[in-house]
């Protein structure tokens, strides 16, 4: 009788996993391992490491309770081999496994490594598709084939049709596909923000927190308080609370930012979707049901569905469709180094300090903080894509390369030259002032364009347009702003560039 080994990764914590389905429960063994290679190939945020390790341990206990034989290798186990391959190799040589099952990993580097395992091990290694996503490679590739521009909006519409989400008689409910125009309001002072979902660490989590404190003390971020959900049951509570308490206002205020309010009306389920504790369809169906019973407005539900059914599936499809070349894209030849304040938060720019603070404390910031503050600065300053990608990958607990790389390379940095976005998401300080209260507490003056107290985003914005005019002057979506730039005198442009370059020099980039 052949002996089977099923390797389950830290972002594959789902009971309906394809590799698990292939395992003979009576005779096969599940392997889960906390290994140094995966925990440190970038210095992941302490909370991210603690979250994944704790969720893995809880999932292993669930499998054991269901009758699976689980071999779990803890990070500080003296027998820990330090890499997934070495753990598998050790078991195969010791126990003569003839079959190894693995669900395809979410990162190209790991998939490339696994594709060599069968030859190295002289054992059958079967890589199975990850069926937890709603757009498989065949569907995405068929949609993308022959297109010069791969716009999410059109992919999203195909996904709505494919799954019949927010559809009636073949048409989108309400008569429109997209209600984003209704989802851009600043948060008024009188609107109360629901409390964040928090969970008291149990003994398993406390042991993991202690382990991370000991072994990852040089990694970025605050480890405590640690209050994430670490089981499916807890993750389901987060989803339920979002649907009931946050979804009704989510759409209207999803782009808003507020000083000291880190969680607002967002769902906070990306952590749990991306490691497998929740499935995308259950989240989508819960939101659609809320609209159908009148518990949430259409603009909120459509906005949420667009993020999960549209954007999340789209960036994953794009990642696998364009890798590995996509990782090396640098269309704008950006070369400046990441400023130190991305780690310390020590800057006079209040918006940047606030977004680094929430990132450092929570291993989380919502999408507008990531895109239009932290990302906008990286774009305007011409920071090198490799440095920016590494930062985003390691600081956020929901970051895995399949989702992080397209968001950073394509959406934030326009480093792919327009494959993902039709124009760069560049903005001056006025956008941040419009969508937040950050500017009120800032050393700089958002209304001031030049001078010592001018908001750096203002002259950085125009400097970016000047420096990259050859790349964007023919872009139809940027013709208006370049017409405005053309009305500025040569002396104005020199002053703008002088201010920008002096600022870059002052912050060491």
Asked if the model's pLDDT at residue 382 lies above 60, the reply is yes
* Cross-strand pairs, 71: 31
Do 238 and 217 sit in the same domain of this protein? yes
Asked if the model's pLDDT at residue 1 lies above 80, the reply is no
Q: Which of 402, 251, 379, 399 is nearest to 314 (CA)?
A: 402
Can you give 264-293 as a three-state secondary structure string? CCCCCCHHHHHHCCCCHHHHHHHHHHHHHC
Q: At which of 286, 321, 356 does a domain end?
A: 321
Residue 96 has what pLDDT? 85
Do 425 and 444 sit in the same domain of this protein? yes
Tell whether 218 is covered by a domain.
Answer: yes
Do 98 and 179 sit in the same domain of this protein? no
Asked if the model's pLDDT at residue 146 lies above 70, the reply is yes
| Angle at 462 (CA atoms; ends 461, 465), nearest 5 degrees | 95
Provide the domain count of the chain.
3
The answer to whether residues 475 and 509 touch, using CB atoms and an 8 Å cutoff, is no
Domain holding 457, by residue range, is: 341-506
Do 264 and 357 sit in the same domain of this protein? no
| Angle at 195 (CA atoms; ends 193, 201), nearest 5 degrees | 160
Checking phi first, is residue 175 left (phi over 0); if not, alpha (psi -120 to 50) or beta? left
Tell whether 326 is covered by a domain.
Answer: no
Token pair listed for 383: 């920071």
The answer to whether residues 337 and 391 touch, using CB atoms and an 8 Å cutoff, is no
Token pair listed for 434: 């419009």
Local structure of 256: helix, strand or coil: coil
Condensed to tens digits (0 to 9), the pLDDT of residues 277-300 reads 999 999 999 999 999 999 999 999
Condensed to tens digits (0 to 9), the pLDDT of residues 96-143 reads 898 999 999 999 999 999 999 999 998 999 999 999 999 999 999 999
446 Cβ contact list (under 8 Å, min separation 6): 429, 430, 432, 433, 439, 455, 457, 458
Tell whether 336 is covered by a domain.
Answer: no
Tell whether 427 is covered by a domain.
Answer: yes
* Cross-strand pairs, 308: none
Do 270 and 347 sit in the same domain of this protein? no
Per the document, the length of the chain is 509
Query: The domain that contains 185 carries what CATH number?
Result: 1.25.40.80
Residue 473 has what pLDDT? 85
Q: At which of 72, 101, 128 does a domain end?
A: 128
92/90 Cα distance (integer angstroms): 6
Do 357 and 463 sit in the same domain of this protein? yes
Q: Tell me what the mean pLDDT of segment 390-414 comes to.
A: 98
Query: What average pLDDT does the chain have?
Result: 96
Query: The domain that contains 439 carries what CATH number?
Result: 1.10.579.10
pLDDT band at 276 (very low <50, low <70, confident <90, very high): very high
Residue 190 has what pLDDT? 87
154/265 Cα distance (integer angstroms): 27
Q: Which of 276, 282, 201 is nearest to 240 (CA)?
A: 282
pLDDT band at 307 (very low <50, low <70, confident <90, very high): very high
Tell whether 332 is covered by a domain.
Answer: no
Do 174 and 268 sit in the same domain of this protein? yes
Residue 396 has what pLDDT? 98
Q: Which of 123, 72, 131, 70 is nearest to 100 (CA)?
A: 123
Do 361 and 432 sit in the same domain of this protein? yes
Do 79 and 219 sit in the same domain of this protein? no
Tell whether 474 is covered by a domain.
Answer: yes
Condensed to tens digits (0 to 9), the pLDDT of residues 319-337 reads 999 999 999 999 999 999 9
Do 19 and 111 sit in the same domain of this protein? yes
Tell whether 375 is covered by a domain.
Answer: yes
| R_g of the chain computed on alpha carbons | 24
392/407 Cα distance (integer angstroms): 10
Residue 122 has what pLDDT? 85
Q: Tell me what the mean pLDDT of segment 350-360 comes to.
A: 98
More confident residue, 24 or 350: 350
Do 421 and 467 sit in the same domain of this protein? yes
CB atoms within 10 A of CB 184: 15
Query: The domain that contains 105 carries what CATH number?
Result: 3.40.50.620
CB atoms within 10 A of CB 494: 12
The answer to whether residues 316 and 402 touch, using CB atoms and an 8 Å cutoff, is yes
DSSP secondary structure code for residue 255 in this structure: T
User: Which of these ranges, 169-173, 186-190, 477-481, has the smallest mean pLDDT?
Assistant: 186-190
Residue 504 has what pLDDT? 98
Do 146 and 203 sit in the same domain of this protein? yes
CA distances in angstroms from 224 to 46, 205, 212, 499, listed in the order given: 9, 12, 11, 40
CA dihedral 279, 282, 284, 287 (to 10 degrees): -140
Tell whether 329 is covered by a domain.
Answer: no
Asked if the model's pLDDT at residue 2 lies above 80, the reply is no
Q: At which of 76, 99, 128 does a domain end?
A: 128
CA distances in angstroms from 138 to 141, 216, 320, 321, 401, listed in the order given: 5, 40, 11, 10, 20
């Amino acid at each position: 009788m052949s002996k089977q080994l099923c390797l389950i990764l830290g972002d594959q914590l789902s009971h309906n996993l394809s590799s698990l389905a292939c395992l003979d429960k009576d005779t096969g063994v599940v392997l889960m391992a906390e290994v140094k290679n995966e925990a440190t190939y970038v210095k992941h945020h302490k909370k991210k490491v603690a979250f994944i390790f704790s969720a893995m341990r809880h999932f292993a206990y669930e499998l054991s309770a269901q009758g699976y034989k689980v071999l779990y290798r803890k990070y500080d186990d003296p027998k820990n081999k330090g890499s997934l391959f070495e753990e598998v190799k050790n078991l195969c040589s010791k126990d003569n496994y003839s079959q190894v099952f693995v669900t395809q990993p979410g990162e190209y580097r790991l998939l490339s490594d696994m594709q060599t395992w069968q030859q190295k091990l002289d054992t059958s290694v079967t890589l199975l598709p990850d069926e937890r996503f709603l757009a498989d490679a065949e569907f995405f590739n068929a949609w993308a084939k022959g297109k010069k521009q791969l716009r999410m909006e059109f992919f999203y519409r195909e996904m709505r049709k494919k799954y019949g989400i927010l559809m009636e008689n073949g048409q989108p409910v309400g008569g429109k596909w997209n209600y984003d125009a209704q989802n851009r309001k600043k948060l008024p002072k009188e609107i109360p923000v629901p409390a964040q979902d928090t969970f008291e660490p149990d003994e398993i989590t406390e042991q993991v927190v202690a382990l991370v404190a000991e072994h990852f003390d040089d990694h970025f971020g605050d480890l405590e308080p640690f209050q994430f959900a670490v089981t499916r049951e807890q993750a389901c509570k987060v989803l339920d609370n979002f649907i009931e308490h946050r979804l009704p206002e989510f759409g209207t205020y999803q782009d808003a930012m507020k000083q000291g309010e880190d969680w607002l009306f967002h769902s906070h389920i990306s952590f749990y979707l991306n490691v497998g504790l929740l499935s995308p369809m259950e989240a989508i169906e819960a939101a659609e049901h809320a609209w159908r019973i009148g518990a949430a407005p259409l603009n909120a539900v459509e906005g949420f569905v667009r993020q999960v059914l549209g954007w999340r599936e789209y960036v994953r499809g794009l990642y696998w469709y364009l890798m590995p070349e996509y990782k090396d894209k640098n269309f704008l030849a950006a070369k400046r180094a990441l400023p130190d304040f991305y780690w310390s938060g020590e800057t006079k720019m209040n918006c940047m300090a606030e977004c680094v603070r929430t990132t450092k404390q929570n291993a989380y910031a919502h999408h507008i903080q990531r895109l239009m503050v932290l990302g906008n600065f990286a774009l305007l300053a011409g920071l090198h894509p490799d440095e920016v990608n590494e930062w985003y990958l390691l600081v956020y607990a929901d970051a895995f390369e399949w989702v992080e790389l397209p968001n950073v390379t394509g959406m934030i940095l326009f480093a792919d030259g327009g494959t993902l976005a039709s124009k760069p998401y560049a903005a001056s300080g006025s956008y941040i002032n419009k969508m937040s209260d950050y500017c009120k507490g800032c050393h700089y003056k958002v209304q001031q364009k030049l001078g010592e107290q001018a908001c750096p985003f203002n002259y950085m914005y125009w400097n970016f347009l000047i420096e990259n005019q050859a790349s964007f002057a023919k872009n139809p979506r940027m013709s208006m702003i370049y017409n405005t730039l053309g009305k500025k005198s040569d002396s104005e442009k020199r002053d703008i560039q002088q201010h920008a370059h002096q600022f870059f020099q002052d912050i060491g980039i």
